[in-house]
Chains A and B, each alone.
Chain A
């Protein structure tokens, strides 16, 4: 049975691989390859942190125990997306060992390489192409073959490697195992950029639906989440957050809790307030009972007028593309079509409120954290507590699914501050309300679309402009104030600097999918977009947000894609073209074209314009809609068809069937990918139909599952079909955000197809659906 963190960490000792000793141990190899030429994935922000294992050393990634077991070290962690299993498959494949002989340790600042955040669908690009973990596997395999050749006295081309053993092809009994060759010793090699990867067509472990070993532990209640970390002598902490946005502490009356049994300490640091007690229930009682006098908050803008308010704020402007001729082309167009799309703040709303354990004693800290970036936790907790970063050890432990920047980082700060104050280990789990009221929400958006059509109904110019509020972000290096706890403790979020006008774009970057799929993406004399329309302008305005914001699954990309892909259907309807045909008419990227065609084919797409002919104005009607995207501009092709039923009397929308086609390069684990496509699509459905952060004049009011509306388990779950295109020769891309990015748009288009009513504001609540239906006249 293979093990992943945390058990794999314990297993190191048994394998004779105490990591520190191991790094010092004698080398098995003296050969070395020239460094350089290795590609680094784009998720690397300014290179590894001080003290992190060297990215270009094989021993930073892979170790072989005396028993022949393989331990792999990764900076990309399991968050429930199945990447641990895929990484273990990768190592098994490249090294030619059985899957269950691979242990995987991820995201522990004492052990694993710094691969920045596990986020942005970057784990596959980072570790499965010609770089990092994959290249370590290939380097190790070649090194083992060389060692085997020496040991067996036979040239490398006469040898095969399988099952952790090197054999002479002509005489399979002449063999030596990996354990015999390097067991317990280090390789002492630089990653070889030229080491040959296993060709996809020869895969026996990767590409297979290998079951996740952790699911067995989870469904039997054995799995240890960060919520289950129990350190000897551990106390329990609770935080007391401000009653309103921007409220500050005037005074704290410690006598108000002196009768609470088990209370250890009331902790105040600037506007951070918390309590520590022996038991969780006691801490909750103390936190509820503690009398804190707060100065009033800053007041919040009226939610009803919020989207228009955004347009009036000082902004930081950016141009993604600007062909310089859009106004002129629009002026000469046969028709100009305009629409505005609106997207609310939404929350991660993790199933479990966030939890962390900290043990700060003297000048040293150990943190068990569900953070997506252990190395940034390390450097920012050091700032927060005034410790040296080298004295802070961060061990990733799984929390509940985060889908981006939920409360994981902030609760780790909470635990660190409280443990620091009492000098003992402290566990903190946020209350549901503290999680929901203060997390870094996914951005709200206002998006204006304006397109010019020629006499034949072709798009000749596309103008897109958006306004989006932002405050804080992930706690990157040096910014603990990017999240609520760091801010309450006295740190500032990353600075906001308005800038108008925007400078001209210098390179094409469609990371936020701000640029629609149908334009050329011309910057600096090259066209790197996926479409054909040459007259193009995309201008974004970032403004200051009253709430904390940060990445939420498919950040910005989902919002932009919602607007672009719905608007494309508005244009198709205007010229009475079939929505799929109209897409294909303006696309030039062959792989995007193919996912669109394959999704349509699998869904038995009926070619005709939307809406469906002569929709009835009452009762239940059905329709279908499509949307597509090249995620992040370069990280996974996705097209989705949604089939819906709309009850025109009640406004109720029921999705009957979803067909998702993905091209994400060679697929590591088809079942894992399907799981992501299904979950992403349904999470997208929940976000499209019900989810919206709400507030009053001073505070957030969507603070539990009664006030923040998610779809429950038993809602009418649609049939979901995933079509996976086989791309053995392409690079591996991310796949965790492909289906969620297109869901809202496909749904909006399907509702329009069924009813002729266009919804331009998320969520599509029954009230909004009814209003849009009434507006048809």
Chain B
């Protein structure tokens, strides 16, 4: 069913984000990204293109890295959604987050949400991934600062730790 711009009807939708349930009153066609950043005030997922082309808005649903900018909330209602905030904290970072800090793998940092979550979904499923496989897995993600050397190094390092 397509999105009908003349409707804009609101409905109650439950989103389970980082282990907590939130009841929201939303137009069910609203892309998940807006619910996360505007209604739930999360800073992790970001609007980069709104077209599914860059990865900045990535979240993990059922182990898959998905692009929240083109995912209507109704399609993920009730599902477990994990954002960058949900995988670790500044004090207790996830191995990927820790590796990014250790390698200083960022410049402006706008892309790291997509880079880290795409890498996490991939490494969780492919703990023994090789360097070219990791590069391949990230080929749909952009970093316009091109901190790529450090990011790939950090992912490799975290991958080794996650595989242990």
User: Is B50 in the interface zone, CB < 8 Å from A?
Assistant: yes
Q: Is A223 part of the contact surface with B, judged by Cβ < 8 Å? A: yes
**Do B5 and A686 touch across chains, with their CB atoms under 8 A apart?**
no
A/B interface sample: 16 pairs, CB < 8 A: A220-B89, A221-B43, A222-B85, A228-B37, A259-B8, A281-B31, A288-B5, A351-B54, A351-B111, A353-B49, A401-B108, A401-B145, A712-B140, A713-B141, A715-B139, A717-B135
Rank and list the top 3 A-B pairs by shortest CB-CB distance, nearest first: A80-B108, A221-B44, A400-B110
Asked, given contacts A288-B5, A351-B108, A706-B53, whether A219 binds B116 with beta carbons under 8 Å apart, the answer is yes
**Which of chain A's residues 474-507 have a Cβ closer than 8 Å to chain B?**
none
- Which chain A residues lie closer than 8 Å to B145 at the CB level? 80, 351, 401, 679, 683
Which residue of B is nearest A1, CB measured? B90
Of listed A218, A230, A260, A682, residue having the most chain B CB within 10 A? A218
A188 beta carbon closer than 8 Å to chain B:
no
Is there a chain B Cβ closer than 8 Å to A705's Cβ? Answer: yes
Establish whether residues A221 and B84, one from each chain, have CB atoms under 8 Å apart when the complex forms: yes
A-contacting residues, B1-43, CB 8 Å: 5-6, 8-10, 27, 29-31, 34, 37-38, 41-43
Bound complex: CA of A500 vs CA of B42, how far in Å?
A: 57
Evaluate contact between B43 and A350: CB separation under 8 angstroms.
no
Q: Does A697 contact B (CB under 8 A)?
A: no
A interface residues, how many (CB within 8 angstroms): 70
> Min CB distance, B97 to chain A, in Å?
5
Contact between B30 and A351, CB atoms less than 8 A apart: no
**CB-based contact A432/B50 at 8 Å:** yes
Q: How far is the CB of A718 from chain B (nearest CB, A)?
A: 8
Cβ 8 A contact of B43, one of A225, A285, A352, A400: A225
Interface residue ranges of B136-158 to A (CB < 8 Å): 136-152
A198-214 interface mask toward B, CB cutoff 8 Å, 1 = contact, 0 = none? 00000000000001101
With A400-B108, A720-B149 known as contacts, the answer to whether A285 contacts B116 (CB < 8 A) is no
Please give, as numbers and ranges, the residues of chain B lying within 8 Å of A214 by CB-CB distance.
Answer: 109
Q: Does A570 belong to the interface (CB within 8 Å)?
A: no
Contacts of B68 in A (CB 8 A): none
- Report which of B31, B90, B96, B144 forms a contact with A222, defined as CB distance below 8 A: B90
Closest A-chain residue to B119, C-beta based? A713
Interface of B is mostly: loop
Whether the Cβ atoms of B34 and A280 lie closer than 8 Å is: yes
Say yes or no: is B81 at the interface (Cβ < 8 Å to chain A).
no
Q: Does B163 contact A (CB under 8 A)?
A: no
Asked if A218 and B109 sit within 8 Å, CB to CB, the answer is: yes
* Contact for B148 among A79, A431, A682, CB less than 8 A: A682
A441 to chain B, nearest CB (A): 15
Q: Which residues of B contact A432 (CB under 8 A)?
A: 48-51, 53
Interface residues of A in 321-365 (CB under 8 A from B): 349-353, 355
| Contact A351:B90 (CB < 8 A) given known A682-B149, A713-B115 | no
Expressed in whole angstroms, the minimum distance between the Cβ of A25 and any Cβ of chain B is 34
Given A679-B107, A705-B142; A219-B85 close (CB under 8 Å): no
* A282 beta carbon closer than 8 Å to chain B: yes
**A713 lies within 8 A of B139 (CB):** yes
Which residues of B come within 8 Å of A, CB atoms? 5-6, 8-10, 27, 29-31, 34, 37-38, 41-44, 46-51, 53-54, 56, 83-85, 88-90, 93, 96-97, 100-101, 104-113, 115-116, 134-152
**Given A351-B145, A400-B108, residue A279 in contact with residue B38 (CB < 8 A):** yes
Return chain B residues, CB-CB under 8 Å to A280.
34, 38
A254 interfacial by beta-carbon distance below 8 Å = no
Q: Are A704 and B53 in contact (CB under 8 A)?
A: yes
CB interface residues, A 260-298, toward B, < 8 Å: 260-262, 279-282, 285, 288-289
Most buried by A among B51, B54, B104, B140: B104
In angstroms, Cα B145 to Cα A225, docked, is 16
Q: Is the CB of A82 within 8 A of B141?
A: no
Partner of A261, one of B27, B143, B149, B150: B27
Given A221-B84, A682-B148, A717-B152, also A211-B142 (CB < 8 A): no
Q: Chain A contacts of B34 at CB under 8 A?
A: 279-281
**How long is the Cα–Cα vector from A355 to B43 in the complex, in angstroms?**
14
Report the bound CA distance from A435 to B8 in whole Å: 26
A352 CB to nearest chain B CB (Å): 5
Instruction: Please give, as numbers and ranges, the residues of chain A lying within 8 Å of B83 by CB-CB distance.
Output: 221
Contact pick for B144, options A230, A285, A349, A704, CB 8 Å: A349
Residues of chain B within 8 A (CB-CB) of A680 are 146
Which residues in A have their C-beta under 8 angstroms from that of B135?
Answer: 713-717
Q: Which residues of A contact B37 (CB under 8 A)?
A: 227-228
Q: Is B27 touching A289 in the complex (CB atoms < 8 A)? A: no
Q: Given A712-B138, A712-B142 in contact, is the A219-B106 Cβ separation under 8 Å?
A: yes
Chain B contacts of A228 at CB under 8 A?
A: 37, 41, 43
Give 12 new A-B contacts, CB below 8 A, not counting A221-B85, A705-B49, A712-B139.
A79-B108, A216-B101, A218-B109, A219-B96, A220-B90, A221-B42, A225-B46, A262-B8, A351-B110, A432-B49, A676-B107, A705-B53
Q: Is A443 an interface residue (CB 8 A)?
A: no
- Interfacial chain A residues near B150, Cβ < 8 Å: 675, 678
A710 at the interface (CB under 8 A from B): yes
- Determine the residue in chain A with the shortest Cβ distance to B152: A717
CB of A398 closer than 8 Å to a CB of B: yes
Main secondary structure of the interface of A (DSSP, over half): loop
Q: List residues of chain B with CB within 8 A of the CB of A676.
A: 107
Using A221-B43, A222-B43 as known contacts, say yes or no to A282 and B146 having CB atoms under 8 A apart.
no
**Given A259-B6, A352-B56, A432-B50, A219:B142 Cβ within 8 A:** no
* Chain A, residue nearest B115 (CB): A713
Contact residue among B41, B50, B54, B105 (Cβ-Cβ distance under 8 Å from A431): B50
Which residues of A, 393-411, contact B by the 8 Å Cβ criterion? 398-401, 403
CB distance from B129 to the nearest CB of A (A): 12
Q: Is the CB of A710 within 8 A of B142?
A: yes
B8 in contact with A285 (CB, 8 Å): yes
Q: Is A217 at the interface (CB under 8 A from chain B)? A: yes
Contact A713 B138 (CB under 8 A): yes
Q: Which residue of B lies closest to A712 (CB)?
A: B139
A448, CB-defined interface residue at 8 Å: no
Which residue of B8, B47, B56, B84 is within 8 Å of A282 (Cβ)?
B8
Which residues of the other chain, A, contact B97 by a CB distance below 8 angstroms? 219-220
Report the bound CA distance from A262 to B7 in whole Å. 12
In the complex, chain B residues whose CB is within 8 Å of the CB of A262:
8
Q: Are B113 and A398 in contact (CB under 8 A)?
A: no
A731 within 8 A of B: no
Chain B positions within 8 Å of A288 at CB level: 5
Report the separation of the CA atoms of residues A398 and B111 in the bound assembly, to the nearest whole angstrom.
14
Bound: A80/B105 CA distance, A = 11
Interface status of A81 (Cβ within 8 A of chain B): yes
Whether A220 pairs with B104 at a CB distance below 8 angstroms is no
Known: A211-B104, A220-B90, A351-B108. A682 touches B48 (CB 8 A): no
Instruction: Indicate whether A429 reaches chain B with its CB closer than 8 angstroms.
Output: yes
Tell me which residues across on chain A come within 8 A of B107, comparing CB atoms. 80-82, 401, 675-676, 679
Residue of B47, B105, B109, B137 ringed by the most chain A CB atoms within 10 A: B109
Give the complex CA separation of A254 and B100 in angstroms: 49
Q: Once the chains are docked, how many angstroms separate the CA of A225 from the CA of B46?
A: 10
Check B46 against A352 for contact (C-beta < 8 Å): yes
CB-CB under 8 A for A219 and B100, given A281-B27, A352-B46: yes
Q: How far is the CA of A720 from the CA of B140 in the complex (A)?
A: 22
Of B46, B100, B137, most buried by chain A (CB within 10 Å of CB) is B46
CA A678 – CA B115 in complex, angstroms? 18
Min CB distance A220 to B, Å, is: 5
Q: Does A224 contact B (CB under 8 A)?
A: yes
Q: Does B88 contact A353, Cβ atoms closer than 8 Å?
A: no
Contacts of A713 in B (CB 8 A): 111, 115, 135, 138-139, 141-143, 148, 151-152
Q: Tell me how far the C-beta of A505 lies from the nearest C-beta in chain B, rounded to whole angstroms.
A: 37
Say whether A683 contacts B146, CB under 8 Å. yes
The answer to whether A704 touches B49, judged by C-beta atoms less than 8 angstroms apart, is: yes
* Cβ A686 vs Cβ B104 within 8 A: no
Q: Identify B47's interface contact among A215, A352, A712, CB under 8 A.
A: A352
